[in-house]
Amino acid sequence: MSASWTPDTGPGPHEPGGAALVLIDLQEKLAPHIDGIGEALENVRKLLALAKLIDLPVLLTTQYAKGLGPTVPAVAEALDVEPIDKICFGCFRDEGFLKALDERVGPRATLLLAGVETHICVLQTALGALAAGRSTHVLADAAGSRSRANHELGLARMRQAGCVISSTEMAIYELLGDSRRPEFKQMLPYLK
């Protein structure tokens, strides 16, 4: 899998239909235990602001919400989509997720992944996305694990598998593509 967007992987990141954001398991009972969760949630907030401005599709998942609770309020309140509750660690093993992905995103979009835990659900979702032939970017500063070591190991494993490891700011600038876009000026308060 190519590390960048190419014509055979679909539209470019700043073209309509070029990307979708997948937010994985940002839940109330998990969040307090995640190393660096404050930074990750702040970066998710930036991504959601951009998603609204450029009509970037967003898919949201929860892992066994009955046990791990709902999505953290800061994320849930910023979205108008219902979470896809799953029991599989990787989203690509869940029929509800695959159906939503097909309906809202289609087959060619690049997936931008964020959420928890990096070395479990984010990793297994990334591997599933790659196996499905999707260009996959993991936003390292919008993801986390209970330990920094597992976060770093998860990122390394995804990089070795063919994912692009990126940051929130890198993704925002790639998706905008041009400082002349009105959305760029609207995003400036989030980028300072």
Q: So which residues are the catalytic ones?
A: 25, 86, 121
Residues 72 and 26: their CA atoms lie apart, in Å, by: 6
Sequence letter at residue 119 = H
Q: Which helix (H) or strand (E) holds 157?
A: helix 148-161
Closest residue by Cα to residue 40 from 139, 165, 188, 146: 139
Q: How far is the CA of 24 from the CAs of 37, 48, 64, 124, in angstroms?
A: 13, 13, 12, 11
Scan for tokens 């070591």, then name that residue: 149
DSSP, collapsed to helix, strand or coil, labels residue 115 as strand
